[in-house]
Amino acid sequence: MPFRADVFRFVYWLCRDRALAEDVVQETLLRAWRSLDSLGDEKSARPWLLTIARRELARVFERKRLPVVDIDVANEAEPESLAINDQHEVDEMRRAILKLDVIHREPLVLQVLLGYSTEEIARHLDISVAAVLTRLFRARQVLRQQLLGAEGSRP
C-alpha cells in the first residue's frame, strides 16, 4: 500500500502512541477504501489519506479520553521500533520532538518528513500561511533550545 508508512509516521507523531497509530492507520485505509470515489486525482492520494487519518485520530480522541502519554515512556518503551539507528543525536532529537506541542509538531512533520510546502500545510491545517510560518519557526526554536540545553547538560 503506497503512503502507508507516511500515514503511519504522520499519525504516530501526532498521537505519540505506536499501537494507537497502527489502529488509526487501519481505520484510515478502510475509510479511504470506502470513499475511494471521492479521490479525484491520484496525485492527491497522499494528502487525501493524511486528511482522513487526521480526522480519524480526532474522532478517536473525541470518542474516549485517552490516557496522557508519558514522553519518556513513549520514547523508551519501544526502542527497537523507533530506532532507525543508535546515534545519540537522533535519540535526543526524538525526545525533543515528542515534547513539542502538537500545534508545532504537526506542521514540522508535514514539512520535514512529508515534504509539504508552506501553502500545503496551511491548506491541510486550515490556517493562514503566516500562522504556519510562525509555528514552524517556533518549533525549530524550541528544538534548538532543547538540544543546546541537552548538550549543555551532557557530561
Partner 1 sequence: MNCEELRTTVGAEPNTTRPDVLEHIAGCAACARYRQDLQAMDRLIYRALAVDAPAEKNASLPTQKQTMVRVWRVAASVLITVLVGAIALWLLTPRESVAAEAIAHVQHEEFSLVRTSETVDEQQLEKVLAAARLRLKPGAARVSYAQSCPFRGQRVPHLVVQTEQGPVTALVVTHVPTQRREHIDEDGFQGDIIPAPRGVIVVLGKNVPVDAVANTLLSALEY
Binding stretches for partner 1 (CB under 8 A): 1, 4-5, 8-9, 12-13, 18, 22, 26, 29-30, 32-33, 81-85, 87, 89-90, 93-94, 97, 108-109, 111-113, 118, 132-134, 136-137, 140-141, 143-144, 147
Residue 66: CB minimum distance to partner 1, A: 19
Residue 64: CB minimum distance to partner 1, A: 22
Question: Per-residue DSSP letters for 98-148?
Answer: HHS-HHHHHHHIIIIIT---HHHHHHHHTS-HHHHHHHHHHHHHHHHHHHH
> What number of CA atoms fall less than 13 Å from residue 40's CA on the CB side?
0
Question: Cell numbers of 104, please?
Answer: 508545532
> Which candidate, 15, 18, 25, 22, places its Cα nearest to that of 58?
15
Residue with grid cell 525549530, as numbered in its chain: 140
Residue 56 · residue 24 · CB < 8 Å = yes
Q: Which is nearer to partner 1, 65 or 73 (CB)?
A: 73
